[in-house]
Chain A
């Protein structure tokens, strides 16, 4: 069991949980993640370690509430606990030894970029962070990143910082020259756009991928991604890869595999909340790959 020590809502969708995990807090490196299983019936989900406090023995998980599992995670309060946390998993970030790095974070990806910026800063690399959100309230980790270097904030609506996507700001920074590497974490379209900008300039670009994953140790192969035409497992070969070689279309497509099921799980959870377990015999979802009805009536766990 891993106690939740602190909980902070960073924006309407994104919550930061500081949870007890002393060993992981001690040894985690930038870019690494953990597999989390909240309770007995929960999914195993991969979450990047956004920060760690080795003295307190805690790690920070920054979670965007999207489906049932993530909503349940962000609902955890201090004093409650996560059943299982395994890690740290994945290869640590390949940090450039010196020079100037630009860290691009989009949405919740900004939390993932944070430990990378920390690692770069610690070895004396100059860090410029470009972070974005829909509007002011969606911008996260600005303060933490300001401690590590310059920060350029971008909002889609211009309510804070520059108006427009992070890629516009990145284009300006790249135009100034002297950028040795770009680290980009965010929605797939953002990472694709960043790679498209840096590719013609030959600027080394590293992206962190978030495919569907179960064990996180290489055993299931569910997190396979195509990099330079080769099959890679994000859990053991990544999660960070050369951004110029990733097949983003495939990644985005595979992320949608369980969309019908995710909707059904949410609908089911909401139905149970409101109406009780007797009304959970759901119609099958549409599409060729509809979720089958439960083998037996679902009950509230």
Chain B
């Protein structure tokens, strides 16, 4: 395979489609939807990269993956080197290759997007990362000599894992504390198997363990150990304990049986494998008609899960329009293919129940786009008198989360904003010297890759701090919300 194609030749190659399970089959199983590029498709797609001198795609990546470099190595048939290059920039490429919103990040910046379709960077990242997962023995572990410095990381989600990888490679001794019984955070409790197989998370975690990262599960920082105790035992601390408490709508009927937060619904199915009940002991209610409230990735994960659990009618109820859904484009497309129904410009006003307090329906009101709000999107305005009832037996509330006070309430010196999120400076340092924070506990609910970007930046800052090159600043500016 030659890497020396002319630009004209490269331009003539159309974007390759990723093989996927047919919608009718996948709507009733939990196996991964996308099947991944074959070697042939991957090499062909990689050749579409024009190897720009000033690659804009890299700037579009929150962790700054050197995209042209790993694609060039791939076209040269040097897949091990491509993997090494990718892993150097991104601690969890098999994850991000599957869950990143590439269409608003790297692929949005790709020059080929201006006239046609961008290079399928996400699918290629996934291909190389999957090769790396299955050929671990061919990838040497590169690690700096031990520094003798000890770092505690709170939370083993994408942010914590990324920071752990970066710090371990720099020779620091890293211990991650995870509250749940399995490492991975949202990657194991939140994102479903059909989008991110749990085996992949396990393998990515295993790679970090080989780097020397220790992970202690069932340790709840704020309860089992307090933050001051961690500070006393470690040279630095990185807090990445995640999103936290689910928000509810504050409408009547939310405590009826059959109403879930998306966190609970997904945790039952993903972390506790309730879809395999009774082989696994944790149950989840199976509804015939499931209404999921919200328009983000979590809402789509929930509604597609409901479909796979046998719901004949799996519905999204979203108060804005399709164009304003924050979910990844591919997930919306996949959900449509799987027969998910979308009720746009629809807002819930009450959850209805029967005399036994089981959910029977969702009373909604139609909305219309009004004047733009502070996010620039049209503010949805209720249409008077347009109330109607969507019959359903399960309601899943997927409208976001608020900061979990479990850790922060046990350390009053830690500066928080008015929503309870931890305030950090541009280096990710909190108001406590040597204590850094990132991911959703700083941003409020965001994405896997932004959390990873925080982890990477924090790791660099922690490394500088430990070498005495970073001084604590007045913590005030929150991290940029890419």
Contacts and interface: CB of A to CB of B under 8 A. Distances in A.
A298 B220 contact: no
A244 to B, nearest CB: 19
Interface in A273-301: 280, 282, 288-292, 294-296, 298-299, 301
Contacts of A222: 260-261, 264
A143 interface: no
B191 to A, nearest CB: 14
A167 interface: no
A219 interface: yes
B268 A83 contact: no
Contacts of A215: 179-180, 189, 267
B180 A290 contact: no
B279 A253 contact: no
A6 interface: no
Interface centre among A44, A86, A298 (most CB of B within 10 A): A86
A16 interface: no
B258 A289 contact: yes
Interface residues of A, number: 56
A221 B261 contact: yes
Chain B interface extent, by class:
35 or more
A262 B282 CA distance: 9
Given A23-B224, A215-B179, A43 B219 contact: no
Interface string A225-259: 01000010100100000000000001001101110
A217 B179 contact: yes
A220 interface: yes
Contacts of A162: none
Given A218-B244, A219-B263, A236-B405, A86 B220 contact: yes
Interface string A77-102: 00000011111110000000000000
Contacts of A289: 257-258, 285-287, 358, 393
Contacts of A258: 283, 285
B152 to A, nearest CB: 15
A221 B272 contact: no
Given A85-B218, A295-B276, A220 B264 contact: yes
B404 A219 contact: yes
Contacts of B189: 215, 219
A11 interface: no
Interface string B272-284: 1101111111110
A155 B224 CA distance: 38
A146 B234 CA distance: 44
Given A215-B267, A218-B245, A295-B276, A86 B219 contact: yes
Contact of A219 (B181, B223, B257, B267): B267
A265 B243 CA distance: 32
B220 A294 contact: no
A89 B255 contact: no
A257 B320 CA distance: 32
Nearest to B242: A219
A41 B277 CA distance: 10
A250 B255 contact: yes
Interface string B205-244: 0000000000001111001110000000000000000111
Given A44-B272, A215-B267, A231-B255, A291 B286 contact: yes
B327 interface: no
B200 interface: no
A159 B404 CA distance: 49
A43 B278 CA distance: 11
Contact of B224 (A24, A218, A254, A264): A24
Nearest to A222: B264
A268 B285 CA distance: 17
B246 interface: yes
Nearest to B282: A43
Contact of A41 (B244, B264, B267, B281): B281
Nearest to B226: A27
Nearest to A27: B224
Contacts of B261: 220-222
A219 B244 contact: yes
B283 A265 contact: yes
B310 interface: yes
A253 B224 contact: no
Interface centre among B189, B225, B275, B283 (most CB of A within 10 A): B283
A223 to B, nearest CB: 9
Contact of B254 (A231, A265, A288): A231
Interface of A: 23-24, 27, 37, 41-44, 68-69, 83-89, 214-222, 224, 226, 231, 233, 236, 250, 253-254, 256-258, 261-262, 264-265, 268-269, 280, 282, 288-292, 294-296, 298-299, 301
26 contacts: A23-B224, A41-B279, A41-B281, A44-B181, A68-B281, A83-B181, A214-B282, A216-B220, A218-B405, A220-B264, A221-B246, A221-B248, A222-B260, A224-B248, A231-B254, A258-B285, A261-B277, A261-B278, A265-B277, A289-B257, A289-B393, A291-B277, A291-B283, A291-B286, A295-B29, A298-B279
Query: 6 shortest A-B CB distances, which residue pairs?
Result: A261-B283, A220-B264, A86-B218, A221-B261, A292-B286, A84-B181
Given A217-B404, A219-B267, A289-B286, 20 more contacts: A23-B224, A23-B225, A43-B281, A84-B181, A86-B181, A87-B224, A214-B268, A215-B189, A217-B179, A219-B245, A221-B248, A226-B255, A231-B255, A257-B285, A265-B278, A280-B278, A291-B286, A292-B286, A292-B309, A294-B277
